[in-house]
Amino acid sequence: MAAERPVIIVGHGARFDMDAIVAFAESLGCPVLTTFKAKGLIADDHPLGCGVLGRSGTPIASHFMNESDVLLVLGASFSNHTGITPKKPTIQVDYDRMALGKFHPVDVPIWGEIGRTMDILREALADGKPASKDHRDEIAERWDIWRTEKARRRDDDRGKGLNSATVFEALGDAAPTDAIMCVDVGNNAYSFGRYFESRGHAFLMSGYLGSIGFALPAALGAWVATQEKGTRWQGRKVISVSGDGGFAQYMGEFNTAVLHGMNVTHVVLADGELGKISKEQRSGNWDVWKTTLTNPSFAAYAENCGGLGIRVTDPAALRDALTRALAHEGPSLVEVMTDPRLI
């Protein structure tokens, strides 16, 4: 009741309770951040949505967490990847008692069903005058700052491939708003979380397990779900994104997609190396060792399998390539030659 800058942090465990969470947030006018695994549970174009918090996140989310005076954390694991600060007064709600205060003490641990807890809190606050300010204007200002910075990054060019800001801006414009997006592991995933703006998209990812190669097999499973009549998934477009290291681990499954006529589009960010491992080696002041990849043309491979394959080396050709691939009836692949440093 007394907090002027409350912030809600939503984890994957809150995915079935978003109606109640958003209603509660709207009653306070407070920012809603998500963990990477919960990306898209509140759309980035919602007036209170601030994107992903943590290593794969936006400076918008970091700003509001740092400026908050209380955190309400719902269904989140407090993983290191997310970086929820222990320095703020924290109310944690989870149905799993073992998750409460698992990594550091929280001020108010609540064992309960998240949606029902939100309803109870909203009813209680309605009887008083919460001190919370309406943050919608500040959130919009922070999005403007971040979009200006993303535009600057899209101009970065070392002559060694496209930058990630350009790739995900184009993919965000091309992908249907209800698309199912399957996310892999590596630098491509960090950039996806940071740059891709969610609207009505659904996201599938392996969480923080480091399961490289996850995206394409997940897309095949998601496509099967879209064939189930009468479900909310029926007919939705399935798009998967990976690096070249991840795609190479399961590239044989593109044949499975061709065999069954799966309408799946896979986007490969091909930078010729295991970029995240290279980055970790550099950050440890070690030599970059054994991360270089020797790749075939993945676009030509897709064509040989019987699908559509398009290779992109010029930023000006990217949007047309994505549009063609997404419109193709059957499996398609867009191989984007990217710069491993411009992530």
Cα→Cα distances 222→13, 307, 313, Å? 20, 18, 29
The per-residue b/e assignment along 18-37, b for 16 or more CB within 10 angstroms, e otherwise, is bebbbebbbbbbbbbbbbbb
Give pLDDT, residue 127.
83
Please answer whether residues 214 and 262 qualify as being in contact, where contact means their C-beta atoms are separated by less than 8 angstroms.
no
Question: Stretch 107-133: mean pLDDT, rounded?
Answer: 94
Q: What is the pLDDT confidence band of residue 209, given thresholds at 50, 70 and 90?
A: low
Residue 29 reports pLDDT greater than 70: yes
Higher-scoring residue by pLDDT: 288, 208 = 288
Domain boundaries, the chain: 6-139, 156-337
Q: What is the pLDDT confidence band of residue 118, given thresholds at 50, 70 and 90?
A: very high
Give pLDDT, residue 210.
78
Can you tell me the distance from the alpha carbon of 240 to that of 269, in angstroms, rounded to the nearest whole number? 11
266, containing H or E segment? strand 264-270
Give pLDDT, residue 194.
96
Residue 277 reports pLDDT greater than 90: no
Confidence (pTM) = 0.94
Give pLDDT, residue 66.
98
Q: What is the pLDDT confidence band of residue 279, given thresholds at 50, 70 and 90?
A: confident
Can you tell me the distance from the alpha carbon of 245 to that of 308, in angstroms, rounded to the nearest whole number? 20
Determine the CATH number of domain 6-139.
Answer: 3.40.50.1220
Tell me, yes or no, if the two domains 6-139 and 156-337 fold the same way: yes
CATH number 1.10.10.10 is the correct assignment for the domain at 156-337? no
